[in-house]
Amino acid sequence: MPKKEYKILGFHGGLHNNSDAKDIRDIDLQSATGVSVHRVGRLVGIGNNTSTAINYNAFTSDIEPGYGLHYFSTDYNNAETATSEDWLAIYDKANTKVKYWYRDKANDDASPAFSLIETTFGANINPNYYYADGFLRIGDALHGQESKWFGYIDNELFWKDEFGTQNIHNIKEWSTGTQELKSLEVLIGDNIKMVDMSTANPSASDLGDGTTRKLILGYWTTEGGEWNGNYVFGVTPIYEGNQEGPISTIYDNLLNKLETTVPLFNKRVMFQVHIPIGTAATVTADAPHRLGDDRIIGLNWYFKEESEEDWIYLMNTDLKKGGKHYWESYNSATETAYGIWDGKTVTDSGSVVSVTEGVDILEDSTTPATHINFKDNNDGAIGSGDNWIESGTGASTTGKSYHQVYLEVNLNNEQTNGFGTTSVPRKGFLRVWGGANSPLYVGNATESGGGSASIDLLTGIGGTPGTDWDEYFVPMTLPGAGTDREFRVEVLDENFSVIADSGIKTMTIADSGKVAPPEYEQEVEI
Amino acid sequence: MANYSAMNPGKYHLGVMFDFPPLQNRRLNEDYLIKNVKWKTSAMVGRKIYIGNVEIEDRYNRTHTLSDTVLKSRAGRFDSFTMDRRLDVAVGDGEDVVRLASFADRLLQFKQNTMYVINCTKTQEILESKNKFKGVDHHNAVCETDYGVVWCNEHGIYMYNGRSVNELFITEGVRNVSESTWNAFYKKGETMLGYVASSKQILFYRGVDDADNTTGNVLIYDLVTGSFVQGTDQGNNEDKTNLINDWNNDLLYGYESSANNTLLQKWAVTPTAGIATMDVKTKFFNFENQSRKKIYKVEITYKGGVINDIDYETTNVHPKYSVDSSNSYTGVFRDASGNAITNIPSSSDWSVIELYTSAIDNNNVKSISIQLTEASLGAVRQNFEVNDIAIIYRQKSVK
C-alpha cells in the first residue's frame, strides 16, 4: 500500500482526557498543559502573569487572600476637577484600611499615585465593593464592620441666587464615611429645635456659635387658618440620590423623649428653616457639612397630631437651591427684627381711628367722621370724584351699589430692614375683601400720581423709607346694597402669608339701581 | 460675636405658609425601616442594587442576621434598603447566600449547593429556575462576562448565558475534562476565576493562599472554541487578592511579593516568559482503523525559539511519541541521520522538522500519539508555535 500523509491542522478542541485517547477528535488533546489553543490552527504557548505598569511595591500591604481589589472610574479626578479618572481600591489588611490608587483616564497617565483619602475600618474586614452613581460602597463580608462609602461630593449648598454663585457653603472634595443613612438625631443629637418666630427671628442662643451642630424649624402663626390641635414635628435627612433617612422627632428634651408640642387653634402657620453655620456669614469651603454628613442634600419635614402614630409629609427643604427664594445668611446679632412688618400710623398727626398694622383704607383717619377711601378716579395725588357716593358725609357716607371705584390703600412699614433695598425691594400683594368680587388679589396697582407699580413691602421708597408711606389705588366694584358692608385689606408677602391687616371697616351701600354683574354658569348639555 | 445661620426661604421672616394641615399628603411608613445594613455580596441589575447575606439593624435597634436574604434598593437609591423589598428565595435550607451576580435582567443567587436564577424584569422578581448542585462555596468562584456568568464548584464549571445553565466540561454531549483532573485542580474555598476580555477566555487560578505552592496553577476556558488548557505555575504561588478587570480590561490580581509588599500582576495572553512545564499529547491516531501500520515519520510545522545565539538556538521543546495507546511516551524521534532529537531547533519563520520514528517500534503500529514537552535544557521558549502536524504512514494489509 502507498504511503499516506495524515495531517492535524487544528488543536482547538483543547484538553480532552475523559475519553479513550484514540476516540477523541483530532483537534482534541489528551494533555494540554503549557499551551493555548485559542487561535484556531495554532498551538501556542500559554500566557502568564506579568508585572503591570503599576508598581506599588512601596505600598505596605498585607493581603487578605481572595479579597481587596476593585476597579472603578469617576467623572472627577483626584485633583477635584471634572476629568475622568481611573481608580483601584486596594485593601491594606495590616492597617485595616482601603486605599485608593488613581490614574488619569483620558491621558493614560503613567505616573499615578495614591489618594490621601483612605477609608479606615476598626478591624480586619473581607471587603466587598459595589460602585454606583459616583460612590463606591465597601461592605465587610464578615459582618464585623460598618459598611462605608467613598466618592466625590459635589455639593454647592445654600444658594443665595438663581445661579448658585454666591452660595454659603461649598463641599467639593473626595470624601469617605459610613454608608448608613443616619437620622439627624444620630448626627446632631438633641439639637433639632422649634423656635417661635412670631415676634423675632432666632436669637444668638437659639443658633449657637456653630460649635454644636443644630437645626431649627422656625414658625409663626396668623389667624384664619385651619390648624386646630396640638402638633408635633419631625424631620428626615435626604441624602445623595434622593435617599431619605430615618425620621427624628423634634424634642424639647431628647433624653426624656419629651416632644415639642405646638398648640394651634384656627391658625395658619408659616415655617422657616434655620441651619446654624457658626460665627461667619459663610462656611469655609470643604468644611464638614453642618448637619454631620457630607451626603445630605435636603430635609423632609413631617407633622402629626400629638398622640397620632402616622407622620404626614409637610414640606421639603432643598439644601442646595432652596426653592423659589433660595437661601440667605442670617445674623442673629443684628437681624432678629428683620423682615417683620412694623405697621406705623399713616398720617403725621396721628390717627384717632384705628389704623392697624400700617394699612390704612380710611379717607381721614385723624377724625372719627371718616369713611372708606373710595374715589371715582385714580388721577392726582389723592384721586378724585365723589360720584360713587349715594348720600351722606363723613362716617355716614353711603356708597352706590355696583359702582366702579378705586380704593385708596396707604401702607406704612416702619421696619426698613429685611425688606430689600430701595432699588430692589421685596414685592408683596394686597388682598382686598368686600367688593362685588371678593377677595381681589392685587400685585400691581396705580400709585399716587399715576403709573402702575408693584406692591413694595419696603414702603416710602419715594421719600424716606420707614417714615413715608405708599399710596395705591385699587380698582374694584362696590358690592350690592346692604348695611355695614365689610371691607378689609391684607398685605401678603411673597408666599401669600398675611403680614399686615387693615382690620374690618364698614360702610353702608345703597341701592343704585344697577344690577349685579351677571353670573355666568356653565351650561352642561345632557 | 455674631452667630449666623443659613435660612430658607431666603428672605427675612418669609415663611412657607400652610392655611391648614396638609392631611392629604403621604404618610411616612417606617414599618419596614432598616437603619443599618451590612452585606456580604452585591450585584446590580438595571438601576437597582441587590445585596445578599445581610445583617440588619431594624427600627427598634435590634440586629438580625439574614443569611438567606437578598435586599433590593429602590431605583437609583443605592444605599436605601427596606424590609418590604426583601427577596427570600429559599430560607431555612441550611445554606447561605454566598454570591450574587447579574447578567442582563437576571439575578443569579448562589448558595453553597444551589443556584437560583431570578427574573428581575418585573416590579416583583420571579424565580425562574432552581439549579441544584450548582452553588459555589466562596465569592470568587463566580465571574461576570459579556457572554454570561461563569462559575465553578467541586463538581465542575458552569455558564449561564441568559437562557440556560450549561456545563462547560461537556461539549457536544461528551465530557472532555476528567473528574480527576478537575478534582486535582479545584481547591475548595479558593479556586477563583476571571475574564480575559481580549482573548475571551476564562482564567481559573487554583488558589489564593501561599500555604499551597500549587496555587499558581491555571486552567483556561476559551469561550470561542469551547476548549480547556492547563498551566503549571503560570501565576504566583503567593497570597493573592481577588481578580478584577482594569481600565484596559486586563485581568489583574495583587500578590504579596514579600512581607507587606504588594505587586499587581496582569494576565498576558501571549507569554512573556518561558514555559517551565509543557505537556501536549495528541490523541492516539489510528487513522480510522485498528489495523497495523508502519509509521515513517512525523513532520511538525513550527516556529520560535532563540535566534542568533549559537549556544541556545533551540525551542526547548522535546518531541516524543507513544504507540498503541501506551501511556509511556518513550518513543525517541530521530533526524535523517539517526540522531535523537531532544530539543527542536529554533526557527524564526515557519519551518518543518522531520521526526523519524525508530525502526524498532515503528512497525506494526495500531495508533500513535505525539507528545511535546519541555526539554531538559530549560523552559520552553515563549514564542514557540505549532502550525500543523503531519504523520507519514503506510497501511499494512490485513493478514
pLDDT in tens, A374-418: 999 887 777 888 899 999 888 899 999 999 999 999 999 999 999
CA dist B329 to B320, B357, B371, Å?
A: 6, 12, 7
Residue B256 confidence (pLDDT): 84
Nearest to A430 by CA among A487, A350, A352, A351: A487
Identify the bridge partners of residue A45 per DSSP, sorted by sequence position. A35
| CA-based nearest residue in chain B for residue A19 | B176
Q: What percent of chain A lies above the pLDDT cut of 70?
A: 93
- What is the pLDDT, as a whole number, of residue A379? 78
Mutate to test the interface with B, among A9, A46, A187 (most CBs of B within 10 A): A46
* Contact partners, residue B33, CB within 8 Å, separation at least 6: A246, B58, B59, B82, B83
CA–CA distance, A199 with A519 (Å, rounded to integer): 44
In a domain, A151, yes or no: no
Return d(Cα B112, Cα B115) in angstroms, integer: 8
Smallest CA–CA distance, residue B140 to chain A, in Å, is 7
Contact flag A331-B265 (C-beta cutoff 8 Å): no
The yes-or-no verdict on residue B349 having pLDDT over 70 is yes
Name the minimum distance, in Å, from the CA of A506 to any CA of chain B.
26
Do the strands A69-74 and B347-356 form a parallel or antiparallel pair, or are they unpaired? Answer: unpaired
With CB atoms and an 8 Å threshold, state whether B252 touches A241.
no
Q: What is the pLDDT of residue A113?
A: 81
Chain B residue numbers with beta carbons less than 8 Å from the beta carbon of A71 are 244-247, 252
- What digits encode the pLDDT tens for the residues A334-371? 999 999 999 887 765 556 666 678 899 988 877 888 88
Q: Ranked by mean pLDDT, which of A133-142, A493-502, B206-215 comes out on top?
A: A133-142
* Grid coordinates belonging to A45: 504557548
User: 3-state DSSP call for residue A329?
Assistant: strand
> Within this chain, do residues A96 and A213 fall inside the same structural domain, yes or no?
no
Number of cross-chain residue pairs from A and B with Cβ atoms under 8 Å apart = 553
Q: Is residue A314 located within the same domain as residue A406?
A: no
The secondary structure element, H or E, covering residue A404 is strand A404-411
Which residues in chain A are contacts of B28 at CB distance < 8 A? 236, 247, 302, 310-313
Mutate to test the interface with A, among B1, B7, B251 (most CBs of A within 10 A): B7
Do A232 and A107 share a structural domain?
no
Residue A277 in any domain: the answer is yes
What are A6-54's pLDDT values in tens digits?
A: 999 999 999 999 999 989 999 999 999 999 999 999 999 999 998 876 6
DSSP, res B298: E
The stretch B194-201 carries a mean pLDDT of 94
A397 within a domain of the structure (yes/no) = yes
Asked if the model's pLDDT at residue B223 lies above 80, the reply is yes
Query: Do A433 and A307 fall into the same domain?
Result: no
pLDDT tens digits, one per residue of B84-113: 999 998 888 889 999 999 999 999 999 999
Same structural domain for residues A291 and A246?
A: yes
Q: Please, which contacts does A281-284 make with residues 24 or more away whose CB atoms are closer than 8 Å? A: A281/A168, A281/A329, A281/A331, A281/B4, A282/A168, A282/A169, A282/A329, A283/A168, A283/A169
The confidence score (pLDDT) of residue A326 equals 95
Q: Is residue A289 part of a domain?
A: yes
B360-376: average pLDDT: 88
* Cβ–Cβ gap B13/A140 under 8 Å: no
SS3 state of residue A186: helix
Residue A293 shares a structural domain with residue A238: yes
What is the separation, in whole angstroms, between the first and last Cα of chain B? 117
Same-domain check for residues A364 and A505? yes
With beta carbons under 8 A apart, name residues in chain A contacting B287: 4, 6
The alpha helices in A201-320, defined as continuous H runs, are 204-207
CB contact under 8 Å between B278 and A35, yes or no, is yes
Whether B176 and chain A come into contact, CB under 8 Å, resolves to yes
DSSP B285: B
Cβ within 8 Å, pair B222-A37:
yes
Q: CA of A145 to nearest chain B CA: how many angstroms apart?
A: 8
Of B225, B230, B235, the CB nearest to A49: B235
- Write out residues 55-74 of B within 8 Å (CB-CB) of A: 55, 59, 65
Domains of chain B: 34-266 (2.130.10.10), 279-395 (no CATH)
Q: Which of B174, B262, B277 sits opposite A59 (nearest CB)?
A: B262
For A90-142, how does the pLDDT look when each residue is reduced to its tens digit (9 = 90+)? Answer: 999 889 999 998 888 877 765 678 888 999 999 999 999 999 999 999 999 99
Rounded CA separation A481/A479 (Å): 7
Q: Does A211 touch chain B (CB under 8 A)?
A: no
Q: Choose the closest CB to A328 out of B10, B41, B181.
A: B10
In a domain, A255, yes or no: yes
Is residue A401 within 8 Å of A477, Cβ to Cβ? no
d(CA B330, CA B321): 6
B126-145: per-residue pLDDT in tens?
A: 999 999 999 999 999 999 99
Q: Phi and psi (nearest 5°) for A185?
A: -60, -40
Supply B117's cell numbers.
436564577
| Closest Cβ–Cβ partner in A204, A225, A325 for B14 | A325
Closest approach of chain B CAs to the CA of A75, in angstroms?
14
Within 293-312 of B, beta carbons closer than 8 Å to A belong to 296
Give pLDDT, residue A34.
95
Taking Cα atoms as reference points, which of A75, A90, A277, A299 lies closest to residue A172? Answer: A75
Interchain contact B352–A (C-beta under 8 A): no
The total number of structural domains in chain A stands at 4
Domain that holds residue A14: 7-50
Has residue B399 got a pLDDT over 90? no
Smallest Cβ distance to B176: which of A15, A204, A236?
A15
Same domain, A45 and A124: no
Contacts of residue B208 in chain A, CB cutoff 8 Å?
65-66
Give the CA count within 13 Å in the CB-facing half-sphere of B17.
19
Alpha carbons A217 and B145: distance in angstroms, whole number: 52
Q: Are A387 and A421 within one domain?
A: yes
Which of A293, A318, A343 is a domain's end point? Answer: A318
- Phi first, then psi: give them for residue A13, nearest 5 degrees: -75, -25
* A83 and A221 both lie in a single domain: no
Q: What is the pLDDT of residues B256-305, one digit of tens each?
A: 887 777 888 899 999 999 999 999 999 999 988 888 889 999 999 999 98
Alpha-carbon distance of A390 to A401, in angstroms, equals 9
Query: Is A50 in contact with B280 (Cβ distance < 8 A)?
Result: no
Asked if A28 reaches chain B (Cβ–Cβ under 8 Å), the answer is yes
- For A:261-280, CB contacts with B below 8 A are 268-280
Asked if residue A199 lies in contact with residue A218, where contact means CB atoms within 8 angstroms, the answer is: no
Is A345 inside a domain boundary?
Answer: no
Candidate from A17, A48, A149 with C-beta closest to B234:
A48
| Residue range A68-96, pLDDT digits in tens | 999 999 999 888 998 889 999 999 988 99
Which residue of chain A is at minimal alpha-carbon distance from B239? A65
- Between CA B238 and CA B261 the distance in angstroms is 12
C-alpha cell, B22: 396638609
Residue A62 lies in a domain: no
Which residue in the set B37, B177, B216 is minimally distant from A147, CB to CB? B37
Q: Are residues A429 and A497 in the same domain?
A: yes
For residues A44 and A93, state if they share a domain: no
Average pLDDT, chain A: 90
Q: Does residue A325 fall inside a structural domain?
A: no
How far is B140 from B215, CA to CA, in rounded Å? 14
**Partner residue facing A29 (CB), from B38, B140, B280:** B280
ipTM: 0.91
Instruction: Kindly state whether B272 is in contact with chain A, defined as any CB-CB distance less than 8 angstroms.
Output: yes
Q: Using CA atoms in the order A428, A430, A431, A435, what is the torsion angle rounded to 10 degrees?
A: -160
Q: What's the pLDDT score for residue B398?
A: 72
Sign of the dihedral through C-alpha A161, A164, A166, A167: positive
CB contact under 8 A, B23 and A65: no
